[in-house]
A and B are shown apart, each in its own frame.
Chain A
Amino acid sequence: VTRSLLRFLLWLAPAHFRTRFGAEVLSVHDARRESGAGRRGRLAFDVREVAGLALTVARLRLGGSGTERERTMTTGGGNMLESTLQDLRFAGRTLRRNPGFTLAAVSVLGLGIGANTAIFSATNAFLFRPLPFGDAGRLVMLYETNPEFGWTDATAAPANVLDWREQVDAFADVAMYSTFVNRIPYVRDGEPELVGAINVTGNFFSVLGVKPEVGRGFDWDETWTGNDAVVVLSHAFWVSHHGASPDAVGKTLTFGNTTVEIVGVMPEGFDFPNPEADLWSPWGWDPANRQAAFFRRAHWVSPIARLKPGVTPERANTELQVVVDRLQKDFPETNRVMGAGLTPLRDFLVKDVRRPLGVLLGAVALLLLLACTNVANLMLVRASDRTREVALRFAMGARGRRILRQMLTEGLLLALLGGAVGLALGWVGVRAIARMQPIGITGATTLALDGRVVLFTVGVAVASGLLFGLAPALRATRGDLQGALKEGGRGGSAGRGTMRTVGMLVSVEVGLAVLLVVGAVLMVRTFWMLRSVDPGFRTEGVVAVQFGIPSARYEKRDQVLAFQDEFERRMEARPGITRVGLVNQLPLAGTSWSSQFQAEGWPPERVGFEILHRRTDAGYFEALDIPLVRGRMFGPDDGADTPPVVLINETFAREHFPGEDPIGQKIAYDRTAAANPEGSIWYEIIGIVGDQMQTSPAEPARAEAFENRDQDWGRGEWFVIRTAGSVASTVAVTRGVLHEMDPLIPLAAVRPIREVWRESMAQQAFILTLLGAFGAMALLLAAVGVYGVTAQAARKRTQEIGIRMALGAGASDVVGLMLRQGLAVVGLGLAAGLAVALLATRAIATFLYGVEPTDPATLVSVVALLAGVAAVASYVPARRATSVDPVTSLRAE
């Protein structure tokens, strides 16, 4: 790109310079570039090279046969300032005199810059904001990998992490935390509420390098049971519950039967790993767990390590692999193929948002380019209108350099006005983005227009001012006085050269619009395809609610089940509510746990990998209209004392029991069950239910087993409520029932199933909305561009049209002539845009579903759409040209 810009600038340079130095400039540039420093320096270097040559060309063009002896020394700096102010005043006057032009240019630029500001703020918040940790560059996230289970960055088993911590020399220390917030019931002044707790190891804060604002953090010893009755509060919780009093440290909090001591308060803004954290508390593990199988078999902790100073992530990873190999040999039962990896913390945190933000940044950059092209066109047309003014100023002795500066000042003033509008629009855009709350896009961070964003906006404005201001300015000040006066004499419309440039720019506009509109249409089609996927359950008229049953008052299994049964019974007795069921994890809201399994009678080496699990009752399937395909449902006779039963989904039956009848078969969730049947719990498959999408409509359902909640229970289940009423009335009913049963149990969460379904498509919806908006703007800008070029051409050819019509040409002939001219330019742009789109749409391939990035129907329809818009945009001015009375048009100047 740099090289072609340099070539372009050389092409603008006077012939004597170009032939004498052109090849040399390029070869020296190449040599410098090759020997140059890192990538960061290269961009700055390229910018300097282009700017330097642009200035050189401008000086050569305008400075005449200058010498290299300095002149400005004698004129002094005060003069410079004064002339700049004069330029500004003049530019302001000029813009005020042409309100139509100014308004158009400023709003077009405002749109382009505003879109950039909004997307940049999001990028800024996620990718560039400093992490609130000490020396964050030394922090790496650890995770486990397993080719058999298809794990690439899974949470880890604590026993493995403890071994890494002790045996990998490159780690200064390794901490663990739970990603999920544990919502604990808490009674404050007689009112129940839920407090979000994050379980951590005692070295959590020291590994992150964050010091509490008040009090202390934890010690490593406090990881273990007996020392774990301590908590550290979040700043927000400290303010809301303790009035920010330093005396809070040393006080106790009581949760049911447990009392813990507050030992510290974190500084404001620290909310790792989850913004819903009210407090952090140690896990309180039993040291004996280290020898227990489950501590190495269950993978649920997130490990984070601090590297020793000077250690690279690569070296740490090499050392980690040595330990991983050793663990595979030492613990073949759990670790046979269990691998591990590490990623620098920042890369890990942004991995999900990097791609969508990259795509959106690319899209807004294209949009801004389109806006700049548009304004450049406006300026070119106007510059040719002003040829006479410029020629006059030349004739009166104005220096070329001064006039160039004047024109550039005008461009910059326009750009800054556009930047101001853009900042305002960007602010609106940022709020809109924040309101959309796209899952997986906005996370812990808050969106705001900070100093960096403002700086970015100003920078973009100035750069675009130069971009669209320089070419017209150079054109207007080419010292061809006679020609200018002559051309001006002919009637103030654009000259042939200008028209060619304008046509070229319109081609570019159309090409850019093709790119953006293709992206938007692909997303629209993706979204339609996603929405038409049957998720496998009813999405309307079902509300899910969640609450936890505290162990303090409901200690035993039977008490919990009785409470849940009674809740369902009372809810179903309410008007409008037809069925209530429970499940530990809602469909399309992620997965809860997974395992391997073996079926009775399988050879010991045959293992089924990665089946998902959920815990339900019969009501869940009925409330959500999930069909029982074969076999029977959980019944009243299946209980704690009867053999365990399980339902499987259709994918499970198809993948693991091809050509056989799964019903009646028994399965166990480990890989030693076939060899040692007595040592495992066997579940009898009693029925097959329809597939339900588990994570996204774009991903096919995976094999899943549904355990019976009468045999396998939990305290924090979701209740799905099939209701004829609204969400609000259902929630009110739920609160009422819960209050009747136990006024101290708060409702933890409410999620209408329809919302769950929609949120599973939130990322696509988010990208769709933004790309759609950008596509629409692009279409509008391109239409304006085409309209402008045809209108300008029509204006230029008024006399010709008059003559043709006077000689008997019909209006339709003339319109056809004008249309052909407009559409030739459009066709060029369409072809170029299409060619680039074929390559560029690959960038969004990962967000697409059910449609190929090069989908022919999409490409054809976009081309047709743009051609149609272009036809209308050029028909209007062409038609107008023919409606002028021939006599008038002949007289026109």
Chain B
Amino acid sequence: MSLTPLTYEILLTLADEHRHGYGIIKEIEARSGSSSAPSTGALYLALQRMEADGMVAEAPRPKGDDDGRRRYYRITARGRADAEEESVRLAELVAVARAKRLLPEARV
């Protein structure tokens, strides 16, 4: 079992902070560039399913944000475990890649 790239990105984004939907997108854009940000529709499809799977849950709105349309999300223990599992899997893959000289720094 592996996570889709978008699911993984969302979990990474929520790992250290509660965010609303637009905040998640801005974080992904900042990290991976605006062209790799998901469409709004795709984001909410993922959020809906992640919520159903118990990876994320709704978080209380922080003080200072009184925009009633915004809903905040947080990562759950289950989500954190999934993200860790996926990170380990990816790290192992990267280790293999490095061993096979597929990482630029390994070429030196």
Interface residues in chain A, defined as those with a beta carbon under 8 Å from any beta carbon in chain B:
6, 9, 17, 20-21, 23-25, 27-29, 31-32, 37, 48-49, 51-57, 59-60, 65-70, 73
Q: How many whole Å from A117's CB to the nearest CB in chain B?
A: 30
Q: Indicate if B57 sits at the interface (CB-CB under 8 A).
A: no
A59 to B3 CA separation, bound complex (whole angstroms): 17
Q: Type the 1/0 row for B5-28, where 1 means its CB is closer than 8 Å to any CB of A.
A: 001000000000000011001000
**6 closest Cβ contacts across the A-B interface?**
A52-B39, A53-B41, A52-B41, A56-B41, A56-B45, A68-B49
A590 to B43 CA separation, bound complex (whole angstroms): 61
* Contact call B49/A67, Cβ cutoff below 8 A: yes
Q: Indicate if B48 sits at the interface (CB-CB under 8 A).
A: yes
Chain A residues whose CB sits within 8 angstroms of the CB of B38 once the complex forms: 52
* Contact call B22/A68, Cβ cutoff below 8 A: no
* Contact call A70/B4, Cβ cutoff below 8 A: yes
Q: How many whole Å from A385's CB to the nearest CB in chain B?
A: 31
Q: How many whole Å from B33's CB to the nearest CB in chain A?
A: 12
Chain A residues whose CB sits within 8 angstroms of the CB of B25 once the complex forms: 28, 32
B39, B41, B50, B71: the one contacting A68 at CB < 8 Å is B50
Could you list 18 further interchain pairs (A-B, Cβ under 8 angstroms) beyond the known A52-B42, A67-B53, A69-B1?
A6-B41, A20-B48, A21-B47, A24-B71, A25-B40, A27-B70, A28-B22, A28-B43, A32-B25, A32-B40, A52-B40, A56-B42, A59-B45, A68-B3, A68-B7, A68-B50, A68-B53, A69-B53
Evaluate whether A23 and B69 lie within 8 angstroms (CB atoms) in the complex, with A59-B45, A60-B45 already known: yes
By secondary structure, the B interface counts as helix
Evaluate whether A32 and B22 lie within 8 angstroms (CB atoms) in the complex, with A67-B53, A68-B4, A68-B46 already known: yes
Evaluate whether A25 and B44 lie within 8 angstroms (CB atoms) in the complex, with A32-B25, A52-B38 already known: yes
Q: How many whole Å from A446's CB to the nearest CB in chain B?
A: 37
Chain B residues whose CB sits within 8 angstroms of the CB of A24 once the complex forms: 21, 44, 69-71
Chain B residues whose CB sits within 8 angstroms of the CB of A6 once the complex forms: 41
Evaluate whether A53 and B3 lie within 8 angstroms (CB atoms) in the complex, with A24-B70, A31-B22 already known: no
Q: Indicate if B30 sits at the interface (CB-CB under 8 A).
A: no
Q: Indicate if B32 sits at the interface (CB-CB under 8 A).
A: no
Q: How many A-B residue pairs have CB under 8 A?
A: 79
How many of chain B's residues have a CB under 8 angstroms from any CB in A?
28
Q: How many whole Å from A348's CB to the nearest CB in chain B?
A: 35
Chain A residues whose CB sits within 8 angstroms of the CB of B39 once the complex forms: 48-49, 51-53
A281 to B45 CA separation, bound complex (whole angstroms): 68
Chain B residues whose CB sits within 8 angstroms of the CB of A66 once the complex forms: 49
Q: How many whole Å from A376's CB to the nearest CB in chain B?
A: 22
Q: How many whole Å from A138's CB to the nearest CB in chain B?
A: 30
B44, B47, B52, B69: the one contacting A67 at CB < 8 Å is B52
Q: How many whole Å from A55's CB to the nearest CB in chain B?
A: 7
* Contact call A73/B52, Cβ cutoff below 8 A: no
Chain B residues whose CB sits within 8 angstroms of the CB of A69 once the complex forms: 1-4, 7, 53
Chain B residues whose CB sits within 8 angstroms of the CB of A32 once the complex forms: 22, 25, 40
Chain B residues whose CB sits within 8 angstroms of the CB of A67 once the complex forms: 49, 52-53
Chain A residues whose CB sits within 8 angstroms of the CB of B50 once the complex forms: 68
Q: How many whole Å from B53's CB to the nearest CB in chain A?
A: 5
**A17, A31, A70, most chain B CB atoms within 10 A:** A31
Chain B residues whose CB sits within 8 angstroms of the CB of A20 once the complex forms: 48
Q: How many whole Å from A18's CB to the nearest CB in chain B?
A: 11
Chain B residues whose CB sits within 8 angstroms of the CB of A48 once the complex forms: 39
A-B contact pairs, 15 of them (CB 8 A): A17-B44, A21-B47, A24-B21, A25-B41, A28-B22, A49-B40, A52-B40, A52-B41, A53-B40, A57-B41, A66-B49, A67-B49, A67-B52, A69-B3, A69-B53
Chain B residues whose CB sits within 8 angstroms of the CB of A54 once the complex forms: 41
Evaluate whether A70 and B3 lie within 8 angstroms (CB atoms) in the complex, with A28-B21, A57-B41 already known: yes
Chain B residues whose CB sits within 8 angstroms of the CB of A53 once the complex forms: 39-41
Closest B residue by C-beta to A17? B48
Q: How many whole Å from A37's CB to the nearest CB in chain B?
A: 8
Closest B residue by C-beta to A51? B39
Chain B residues whose CB sits within 8 angstroms of the CB of A17 once the complex forms: 44, 48
* Contact call A55/B40, Cβ cutoff below 8 A: no
**A6, A21, A29, A49, most chain B CB atoms within 10 A:** A21
Q: How many whole Å from A496's CB to the nearest CB in chain B?
A: 30
Closest A residue by C-beta to B50? A68
Q: Type the 1/0 row for B37-80, where 1 means its CB is closer than 8 Å to any CB of A.
A: 01111111111111011010000000000000111000000000
**B21, B40, B48, B70, most chain A CB atoms within 10 A:** B40
Q: How many whole Å from B106's CB to the nearest CB in chain A?
A: 26
Chain B residues whose CB sits within 8 angstroms of the CB of A23 once the complex forms: 69
